[in-house]
């Protein structure tokens, strides 16, 4: 029976890892976010902080997805939760896009509750809390495997400070679900199936399907039990409130095998990449400006170190290690560039064929960390570690022959320096292994120190003043809404900043965007609705100088979307004729007189079912969009052209609803330049009416003559159905909790899975 003090050891060490890894937060008040990178290289801050393109702020050029996507989305969702509103819709970017259905930011992550109490500090604690969660969940599993306390602590330190985990802290999107993997396996070990459905639900609604698929498949293979499969299925049912909207979004998005094909050209790794597993930063580090690997550092880092790998080798022959050995083999083989992965990933298999394969390194790291703990007690049975030492020497030699990017210029020196460092650590660790009195304690301290050193290299921390940094131009853009802005020239703001600062923009950045809207943008950029479809970026060409045809299509797109304000840098003032409506030392805002209102009436409709023909007519110079709108469904509206065009006033505009007052001398058609998507309903004077997909990607409804109140509300049927399925599943789970139907034995009589 463990004493109370001994039970506190993992909590103390987990806290120590967190405090020391994020020491700048506790000592200097810094925020775990690459905000220094943002203000150095992204407008509107770049003009101020990097004059002439030379950054004046120290920063690490990593993790721009945090401030371009994840932080804005999480803050918008948290703001809606704080108002007791479901964050169904993001009205600010991409002319409106689904928010809640996009699972990967993890809106239902239980740790997100700290975001409700503030933004900057709340975000910091949200990120920080993932470290002790990973540590303690791993410790729980290793103790369940009947490993010693020291072995369990070593596995926890290895996993928490591994490269694959460290690079994910700042994103806050993978690690909660990943931490649930050892929890699931521990529940399987102890045959405690009652909590399994709840844990499965949390995994499914807090991360993108690729990661949840990997985690649940691993647990299912580990359990090899129909009863566990039943518990897993019940967990899927409990997660339906999140899964059904997500499935609907996937069906309407552009994430396909074709749009994702480039990923596997880019992210299937050569065998030489495995050197970075045993030698962290063998190919350098993005945080220290010397990364020279094959592709993106964050997506391909799998570093764990020579000591953990050596310890895992000691466990290979033990019976309880087989599952984890095969886990390492399979996950590594599925990330290497050879015929089997290429054939598999080309198959139109949802999730597998559309996601980055090297994210499997999270599982590889977990398996090696488990094996390291299991192997620690096997060390006395082994005679030598010389073979692994020679592998490290081989890595140094091979670095001389690998291609070196010209911007780095010293690749062999980078590989040599980090290899010598890791070989030195390995030598010290090998010496400690043969000192029984200090073996385990010494290894914990050594791995703790080395893990922190490597973690500090990458982990970006920024002064609080740079996070969500405000400027006068951003405040001015906020006043313009709900009218949209368009950017042109060198000063265009990055996508999704509109979500963070609550102004309205047509650009969007996320793989799960509405395909129909992406096709419209593609046609603007290339005159073809498919050729210009991108995997993640939905943005119109913003170059100042473009062809006459592209210029016309771009202006027409800005007109259609109600982009009444053109944003330019003051240096680009000659691009726009006329006086600005607002300016400061760096930026100018110009009024676009040709832009259509966000909501307006027309009295003539054209029905066109062919997408290409519709786009051709929509962008024809002969088409007067102030009088005509295009729909794809049969509609009864007598063509008319009254002198009095009527009046339209937007009374209120919130993320999930739009209220509009209309006054018209004749029956008319109301066009709202917000993206069409299933779930948007419209009510005229409280009576539901049909919502037409209008002008290829937007919304419209028939409005009778006279004065009326029109309300658009986002009420997704997918969420309603999913919610009812979740309620039923929770009810079943509650009955099972009462009757304890899933209880399969105690820890005392459990058997290894």
How many other CB atoms sit within 10 Å of the CB of residue 650?
Answer: 16
The two structure tokens encoding residue 150: 């020291």
Q: Tell me the CA end-to-end span of the chain in Å, nearest whole number.
A: 24
| pLDDT for residue 748 is more than 50 | no
| pLDDT for residue 78 is more than 50 | yes
Q: What is the pLDDT of residue 513?
A: 95
Q: How far is it, in rounded angstroms, from Cα 694 to Cα 671?
A: 7
Residues 323-356 have pLDDT tens digits of: 999 999 999 999 999 898 888 887 777 777 778 8
Are 455 and 166 in contact by the 8 Å Cβ rule? The answer is: yes
Q: How far is it, in rounded angstroms, from Cα 484 to Cα 480?
A: 7
| pLDDT for residue 749 is more than 60 | no
Query: What angle (nearest 5°) sits at the alpha carbon of residue 238, between those of residues 144 and 243?
Result: 110
Calculate mean pLDDT across residues 613-619.
96
Calculate mean pLDDT across residues 469-478.
93
Pairing of strands 657-664, 647-654: antiparallel
Q: How far is it, in rounded angstroms, from Cα 580 to Cα 591?
A: 7
Tell me the pLDDT band of 1, cut-offs 50, 70 and 90.
very low
The verdict on residue 145 lying in a domain is: yes
3-state helix, strand, coil in the chain (%, to 5): 55, 15, 35
Pick the range with the lowest mean pLDDT from 430-434, 551-555, 556-560.
430-434
Q: What is the pLDDT of residue 52?
A: 81
The CA-atom distances, in angstroms, between 436 and each of 100, 150, 305, 443, 734 are 53, 13, 22, 11, 50
Are both 232 and 352 inside the same structural domain? no
- pTM of the full structure: 0.92
Closest by CA position to 410, among listed 303, 234, 289, 246 = 289
Pick the range with the lowest mean pLDDT from 154-168, 368-382, 527-541.
368-382
Q: What is the pLDDT of residue 387?
A: 59
Calculate mean pLDDT across residues 20-25.
96
Number of helices followed by number of strands (H, E) in the chain: 31, 19
H helical segments located in 253-338: 261-267, 275-278, 297-300, 306-314, 322-333
Are 205 and 108 in contact by the 8 Å Cβ rule? The answer is: yes
| pLDDT for residue 752 is more than 50 | no
Tell me the pLDDT band of 401, cut-offs 50, 70 and 90.
low
How many other CB atoms sit within 10 Å of the CB of residue 272?
Answer: 16
The CA-atom distances, in angstroms, between 435 and each of 422, 430, 450, 683 are 20, 9, 20, 77
Is the Cα dihedral 302, 306, 311, 312 positive or negative?
A: positive
Are both 286 and 332 inside the same structural domain? yes
Q: What is the pLDDT of residue 741?
A: 54
Domain extent, residue 283, equals: 262-460
679 dihedral zone (left: phi>0; alpha: psi -120 to 50; beta): left
Closest by CA position to 301, among listed 325, 319, 322, 280 = 280
Q: How far is it, in rounded angstroms, from Cα 69 to Cα 93?
A: 11
Are both 313 and 435 inside the same structural domain? yes
Q: What is the mean pLDDT of the chain?
A: 89
| pLDDT for residue 382 is more than 60 | no
Are both 711 and 722 inside the same structural domain? no
The verdict on residue 546 lying in a domain is: no
| pLDDT for residue 246 is more than 80 | yes
Calculate mean pLDDT across residues 269-281.
89
Residue where one domain finishes, among candidates 425, 460, 495: 460
Are both 287 and 431 inside the same structural domain? yes
How many other CB atoms sit within 10 Å of the CB of residue 186?
Answer: 20
Q: How far is it, in rounded angstroms, from Cα 437 to Cα 433?
A: 10
Q: How far is it, in rounded angstroms, from Cα 668 to Cα 381?
A: 85
Residues 296-310 have pLDDT tens digits of: 899 999 999 988 998
Q: What is the pLDDT of residue 750?
A: 42
How many other CB atoms sit within 10 Å of the CB of residue 577?
Answer: 7
The verdict on residue 686 lying in a domain is: yes
Mention every residue, 6+ apart, whose C-beta is less than 8 A from residue 219. Answer: 181, 184, 185, 188, 228, 232
Closest by CA position to 538, among listed 552, 516, 525, 521 = 521
Are both 351 and 412 inside the same structural domain? yes
The verdict on residue 678 lying in a domain is: yes
Are 660 and 648 in contact by the 8 Å Cβ rule? The answer is: yes
Are 45 and 67 in contact by the 8 Å Cβ rule? The answer is: no
Are 405 and 187 in contact by the 8 Å Cβ rule? The answer is: no
| pLDDT for residue 4 is more than 80 | no
The count of residues in the chain is 753
Are both 273 and 229 inside the same structural domain? no
Pick the range with the lowest mean pLDDT from 139-153, 253-267, 625-639.
253-267
Residue where one domain finishes, among candidates 437, 460, 483: 460
Whole-angstrom Cα Rg for the chain: 28
Pick the range with the lowest mean pLDDT from 70-79, 395-404, 602-611, 623-632.
395-404
Residues 702-715 have pLDDT tens digits of: 999 999 999 999 99
The verdict on residue 329 lying in a domain is: yes
CATH number at residue 676: 2.60.40
| pLDDT for residue 313 is more than 60 | yes
The two structure tokens encoding residue 107: 């809106």
Q: How far is it, in rounded angstroms, from Cα 518 to Cα 697?
A: 9
Q: What is the pLDDT of residue 641?
A: 78
Calculate mean pLDDT across residues 39-43.
94
How many other CB atoms sit within 10 Å of the CB of residue 419?
Answer: 25
Q: What percent of the chain has pLDDT over 90?
A: 67
Residue where one domain finishes, among candidates 460, 484, 519: 460
Q: How far is it, in rounded angstroms, from Cα 55 to Cα 38?
A: 11
Element (H, E) at 689: strand 687-689
Q: Which of residues 275 and 246 earns the better pLDDT score?
A: 246
Are 208 and 240 in contact by the 8 Å Cβ rule? The answer is: no
Longest dimension (CA), the chain: 96
The verdict on residue 130 lying in a domain is: yes
Query: What angle (nearest 5°) sits at the alpha carbon of residue 345, between those of residues 339 and 346?
Result: 90
Are 656 and 89 in contact by the 8 Å Cβ rule? The answer is: yes
Are both 610 and 742 inside the same structural domain? no
Element (H, E) at 590: strand 587-591
Query: What angle (nearest 5°) sits at the alpha carbon of residue 662, between those of residues 661 and 667?
Result: 150
Are 594 and 557 in contact by the 8 Å Cβ rule? The answer is: no
Closest by CA position to 407, among listed 61, 49, 27, 22 = 61
Element (H, E) at 602: strand 599-602
Q: How far is it, in rounded angstroms, from Cα 456 to Cα 436?
A: 31
Closest by CA position to 189, among listed 320, 289, 99 = 320
Are both 151 and 209 inside the same structural domain? yes
Q: How far is it, in rounded angstroms, from Cα 460 to Cα 66?
A: 11
Are both 304 and 211 inside the same structural domain? no
The verdict on residue 604 lying in a domain is: yes
Are 598 and 482 in contact by the 8 Å Cβ rule? The answer is: yes
Pick the range with the lowest mean pLDDT from 315-319, 392-396, 637-641.
392-396
The CA-atom distances, in angstroms, between 462 and each of 30, 322, 465 are 5, 43, 8
Strand partners of residue 712: 658, 682
The verdict on residue 632 lying in a domain is: yes
The CA-atom distances, in angstroms, between 620 and each of 322, 527, 615, 625, 720 are 65, 12, 8, 10, 41
Calculate mean pLDDT across residues 642-656.
90
Mention every residue, 6+ apart, whose C-beta is less than 8 A from residue 591. Answer: 564, 565, 566, 578, 581
Closest by CA position to 200, among listed 216, 189, 182, 214 = 216
Are both 239 and 339 inside the same structural domain? no
Split into its structural domains, the chain has a count of 3
Residues 191-233 have pLDDT tens digits of: 999 999 999 999 999 998 999 999 999 999 999 999 999 999 9
Are both 625 and 750 inside the same structural domain? no
Q: How far is it, in rounded angstroms, from Cα 55 to Cα 47?
A: 10
| pLDDT for residue 746 is more than 60 | no
Q: What percent of the chain has pLDDT over 70?
A: 92
Is residue 387 classed exposed, middle or buried when 0-12, 13-18 and 19+ CB atoms within 10 A define those classes?
exposed
Tell me the pLDDT band of 751, cut-offs 50, 70 and 90.
very low
């Amino acid at each position: 029976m463990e004493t109370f003090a001994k039970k506190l050891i993992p909590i103390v060490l987990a806290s120590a890892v967190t405090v020391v890894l994020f020491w700048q937060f506790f000592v200097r008040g810094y925020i775990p976010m690459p905000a220094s990178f943002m203000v150095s290289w992204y407008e509107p801050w770049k003009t101020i902080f990097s004059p002439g393109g030379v950054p004046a702020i120290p920063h690490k050029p990593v993790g721009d997805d945090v401030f371009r996507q994840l932080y804005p989305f999480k803050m918008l969702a948290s703001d809606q939760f704080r108002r007791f509103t479901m964050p169904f819709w993001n009205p600010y970017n991409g002319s409106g896009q689904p928010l809640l259905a996009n699972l990967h930011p993890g809106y239902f992550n239980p740790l997100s509750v700290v975001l409700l109490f503030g933004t900057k500090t709340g975000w910091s604690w949200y990120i920080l809390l993932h470290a002790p969660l990973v540590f303690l969940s791993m410790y729980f599993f290793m103790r369940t495997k009947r490993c010693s306390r020291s072995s369990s602590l070593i596995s926890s330190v290895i996993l928490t400070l591994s490269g694959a985990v460290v690079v994910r802290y700042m994103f806050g999107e993978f690690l909660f679900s990943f931490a649930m993997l050892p929890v699931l396996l521990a529940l399987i070990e102890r045959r405690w199936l009652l909590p399994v459905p709840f844990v499965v639900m949390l995994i499914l609604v807090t991360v993108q399907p690729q990661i949840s698929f990997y985690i649940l498949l691993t647990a299912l293979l580990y359990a090899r039990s129909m009863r566990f499969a039943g518990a897993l299925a019940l967990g899927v049912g409990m997660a339906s409130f999140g899964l059904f909207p997500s499935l609907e979004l996937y069906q309407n998005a552009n994430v396909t095998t074709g749009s994702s094909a480039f990923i596997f050209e880019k992210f299937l790794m050569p065998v030489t990449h495995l050197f970075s597993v045993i030698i962290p930063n063998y190919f350098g580090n993005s945080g220290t400006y010397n990364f020279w690997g094959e592709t993106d550092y964050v997506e391909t880092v799998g570093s764990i170190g020579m000591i953990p790998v050596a310890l895992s080798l000691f466990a290979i022959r033990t019976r309880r290690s087989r599952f984890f050995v095969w886990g390492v083999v399979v996950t590594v083989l599925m990330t290497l560039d050879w015929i089997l992965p290429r054939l598999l990933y080309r198959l139109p298999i949802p999730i597998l064929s559309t996601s980055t394969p090297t994210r499997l390194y999270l599982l590889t790291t977990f398996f090696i960390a488990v094996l390291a703990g299991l192997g620690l007690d096997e060390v006395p049975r082994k005679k030598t570690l010389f073979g692994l030492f020679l592998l490290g020497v081989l890595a140094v030699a091979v670095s001389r022959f690998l291609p070196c990017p010209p911007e780095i210029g010293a690749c062999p020196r980078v590989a040599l320096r980090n290899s010598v460092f890791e070989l030195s650590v390995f030598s010290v660790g090998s010496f400690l292994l043969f000192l029984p009195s200090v073996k385990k304690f010494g290894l914990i301290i050594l791995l703790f120190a080395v893990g922190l050193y490597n973690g500090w290299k990458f982990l970006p921390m920024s002064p609080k003043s740079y996070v969500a940094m405000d400027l006068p131009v951003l405040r001015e853009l906020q006043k313009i809404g709900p009218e949209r802005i368009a950017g042109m020239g060198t000063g265009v703001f990055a996508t999704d900043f509109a979500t963070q600062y609550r102004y309205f923009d047509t650009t969007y950045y996320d793989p799960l965007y509405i395909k129909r809207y992406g096709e419209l943008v593609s046609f603007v950029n290339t005159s073809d609705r498919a050729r210009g479809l991108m995997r993640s970026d939905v943005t119109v060409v913003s170059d100042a100088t473009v062809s006459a045809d592209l210029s016309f299509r771009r202006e027409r797109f800005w007109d259609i979307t109600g982009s009444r304000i053109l944003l330019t840098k003051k240096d680009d003032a000659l691009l726009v004729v006329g006086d600005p409506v607002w300016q400061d030392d760096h930026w100018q805002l110009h009024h676009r007189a040709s832009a259509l209102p966000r909501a307006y009436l027309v009295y003539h409709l054209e029905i066109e079912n062919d997408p290409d023909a519709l786009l051709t007519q929509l962008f024809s110079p002969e088409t007067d969009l102030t009088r005509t709108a295009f729909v794809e469904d049969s509609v009864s509206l007598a063509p008319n052209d009254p002198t009095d065009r009527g009046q339209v006033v937007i009374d209120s505009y919130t993320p999930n609803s739009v209220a509009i007052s209309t006054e018209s001398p004749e029956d008319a058609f109301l066009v709202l330049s917000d993206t069409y998507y299933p779930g948007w309903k419209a009510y005229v004077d409280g009576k539901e009416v049909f919502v037409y997909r209008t002008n290829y990607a937007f919304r419209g409804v028939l409005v009778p003559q006279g004065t009326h109140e029109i309300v658009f509300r986002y009420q997704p049927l997918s969420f309603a159905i999913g919610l009812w399925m979740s309620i039923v599943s929770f009810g079943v789970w509650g009955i099972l909790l009462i009757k304890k139907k899933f209880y399969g034995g105690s820890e005392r009589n459990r058997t290894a899975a």
